[in-house]
Structure 1
Amino acid sequence: MIKQTSPADKLRALLATGDLITMPCCFDALSAKLIEQEGFGLTFMSGFSAAASRIGEPDLGLMSYGEVLDQARNITDAVSIPVIGDGDTGYGNAMNVKRTVAGFAKAGCAAVMIEDQLAPKRCGHTKGKEVVGRDEAFDRIKAAVDAREAGADILILARTDARHQHGLSEAIDRAAKFAELGADILFVEAPKTVAEMRELCAALPGPKMANIVEGGETPDLTPEELSDIGYQIAAYPLSLMAAAMKAMVETLQLMKAGKPRTDMLMDWGQLRNRIGFDAYYEESERYATSKRG
């Protein structure tokens, strides 16, 4: 029997190349499928976009652990590329963090992000966010690593939002401790200048992730520039959601005005194919009782 490569191993292999990984972020199974179809090797379930898509609410800690895990499971079931799950603050104390990490591993995620925000968390590029004290922040990452070491086949993406409240030095210190505790990937959220991005990448070991929010606080650099600075993952958490919302709003406005535009729509045949109708029909031909679809 051929042993299947785990999602975590697929991500480890990507990181081992040392190349920058451009990572469009998904919000549901369909957006993840489109990312894979366009040849990207990694995606991340954006908490911001998933909250908007699933419950129509802002990313302010309103989605429960169960809802987030269910969304992650739907996504991992739909694609073969590794998926990073958004574990937020871990949904409670250190013991909750361990359960969260184990749950994301069972859901098929290659990695899970755990952060040091004060619950309820909020989008890293919006106002009002705060971080917990160092001890609690470190306990969260230690618990996440303990869950991995206990058998959860998953990488730990450790995030700090301390730059906003306490400055870059504190954020770097926290991230360095996260690495010391065993985190696999480091994420210092919302550096404000290229100089800050260079400073944190030079100071921290291992793979680092940049979070590129168009119009947000972090400079919107090219993949080449991010690689030169020292990042290995470039995440784009809102690009697909923003593009989809703009297209839907414009289409609805035209329909309301009695001026629908078919040139704005994906071709019917391509739509069916990308969703999976053609693949379904092709496979169903193997089974006589399934040929009707």
Structure 2
Amino acid sequence: MTPPDTLRALLSEERLLVMPCCFDALSAKMIQQAGFDLTFMSGFAASAARIGAPDLGLMSYGEVLDSARNIREAVTIPLIADGDTGYGNAMNVRRTVQGFARAGCAAVMIEDQLAPKRCGHTPGKAVVTRDEAFDRIRAAVDARAESDILILARTDARHDHGLAEAIDRAATFHELGADILFVEAPRSETEMSQICDELPGAKMANMLEGGATPDLTQAELKEIGFSIAAYPLTLMSAAMRAMDAALSALAADHPRDELLMPFGDLRRRIGFDDYYETSSAYESSSRPGPSDRD
């Protein structure tokens, strides 16, 4: 099946899809190796990893698309890409959606923030008018008709306009044809339940450790009615903490063995063993023949 078809099949199972978010090809590969069914390229994490800068609209569409392509080439599980605001007007949204579809992404997220966008759990974010928000999703859905990909529609209206406005926007997103709904940053379990009770279709919860939304268990999220639980910074935060510990040990000339993955496991996870196994079938062609020696 195509990546969009695979994601549709997963959503039809009516279970909670636990989705660790990646920031590059290696982190995505490790997510697949750990047995997870899908991943999401976190804009926050990808911006930090690729340009060493915060997720404040600094990374361009071309850079985000290139990162998505690299991830797609490394894994076979469905990838949801962060399309931010669509990088412009409705026509830019169409191009953004089509670009991620051609890159092999299963879905793309389009949101209603005012550009330049911000992380959903940081201050200073604002949303566009209802009409502009609806135009973005309408354009994304139109682009989907030309290039198969699912649309994950996000609203950040809860921050400035309250939960009722956010739910109303998301409901219209569904009416316009969005496949998955994402109301960012509800502030209580009651609000999370209201989102699932009042909105149709598949809903995504964003489990940002330390963020505005309660960090519920997977069983609680499933009971409330979410279809996807995204963990946007779990891997990046863990990786940064591990690197910080290793650098501190190195600076102090302390032993590092307990901080490191064994070298054999490192090679295997990256793909050296698979490479050598596959390349062994072509060893004869790499040896010089009679004409090569003459």
Does the CA-based 8 Å contact 1:59-1:123 persist in structure 2? yes
Please give the TM-score of this superposition, normalised by the length of structure 2. Answer: 0.96
**Residue 64 of structure 2 corresponds to which residue in structure 1?**
68
**Could you tell me how far apart the structure 2 residues matched to 1:240 and 1:290 are?**
41
> How many angstroms does 1:36 deviate by?
0.1
**Residue 24 of structure 1 corresponds to which residue in structure 2?**
20
**Could you tell me how far apart the structure 1 residues matched to 2:275 and 2:150 are?**
33
Structure 2: which amino acid aligns with 1:238? L
**Could you tell me how far apart the structure 1 residues matched to 2:194 and 2:283 are?**
63
Does the CA-based 8 Å contact 1:101-1:147 persist in structure 2? yes
- Sort the Cα spacing of 1:290 and 1:238 in 2 relative to 1 into closer, same or farther, 3 A: farther
**Could you tell me how far apart the structure 1 residues matched to 2:217 and 2:5 are?**
27
Q: Provide structure 2 residue ranges, at least 5 long, that are not aligned to the other structure.
A: 288-294
* Pairing of 1:214-233 with structure 2 (within 5 A): 214-233=209-228
**Could you tell me how far apart the structure 2 residues matched to 1:288 and 1:56 are?**
41
**Residue 9 of structure 1 corresponds to which residue in structure 2?**
5
User: Rg bigger for which structure?
Assistant: 2
* Pairing of 1:1-293 with structure 2 (within 5 A): 5-149=1-145, 151-288=146-283
**Could you tell me how far apart the structure 2 residues matched to 1:291 and 1:82 are?**
36
SS in 2 for 1:286: helix
**Could you tell me how far apart the structure 2 residues matched to 1:133 and 1:214 are?**
30
Structure 2: which amino acid aligns with 1:231? F
SS in 1 for 2:202: coil
> How many angstroms does 1:260 deviate by?
3.3
Q: Name the count of aligned residue pairs.
A: 287
**Could you tell me how far apart the structure 2 residues matched to 1:112 and 1:231 are?**
18
> How many angstroms does 1:258 deviate by?
1.2
SS in 2 for 1:282: helix
**Could you tell me how far apart the structure 1 residues matched to 2:191 and 2:141 are?**
27
Per-residue displacement from partner, 1:118-155 (whole Å, max 9, x unpaired)? 00001000000000000000000000000001x21100
Per-residue displacement from partner, 1:262-284 (whole Å, max 9, x unpaired)? 11100000000000000000000
Per-residue displacement from partner, 1:81-102 (whole Å, max 9, x unpaired)? 0000000000000000000000
Per-residue displacement from partner, 1:223-243 (whole Å, max 9, x unpaired)? 110000010000000000000
SS in 1 for 2:153: strand
**Could you tell me how far apart the structure 1 residues matched to 2:181 and 2:137 are?**
11
**Could you tell me how far apart the structure 1 residues matched to 2:258 and 2:286 are?**
33
**Could you tell me how far apart the structure 1 residues matched to 2:285 and 2:191 are?**
58
> How many angstroms does 1:38 deviate by?
0.4
**Could you tell me how far apart the structure 2 residues matched to 1:183 and 1:260 are?**
52
Please give the TM-score of this superposition, normalised by the length of structure 1. Answer: 0.97
> How many angstroms does 1:289 deviate by?
5.3
**Could you tell me how far apart the structure 2 residues matched to 1:155 and 1:290 are?**
44
**Could you tell me how far apart the structure 1 residues matched to 2:285 and 2:52 are?**
37
Structure 1: which amino acid aligns with 2:155? T
**Could you tell me how far apart the structure 2 residues matched to 1:147 and 1:59 are?**
26
Per-residue displacement from partner, 1:152-178 (whole Å, max 9, x unpaired)? 110000000000010000000000000
Q: Provide structure 1 residue ranges, at least 5 long, that are not aligned to the other structure.
A: none
Does the CA-based 8 Å contact 1:251-1:260 persist in structure 2? no
Per-residue displacement from partner, 1:3-28 (whole Å, max 9, x unpaired)? xx110001000001001000000000
SS in 2 for 1:138: helix
SS in 2 for 1:109: coil
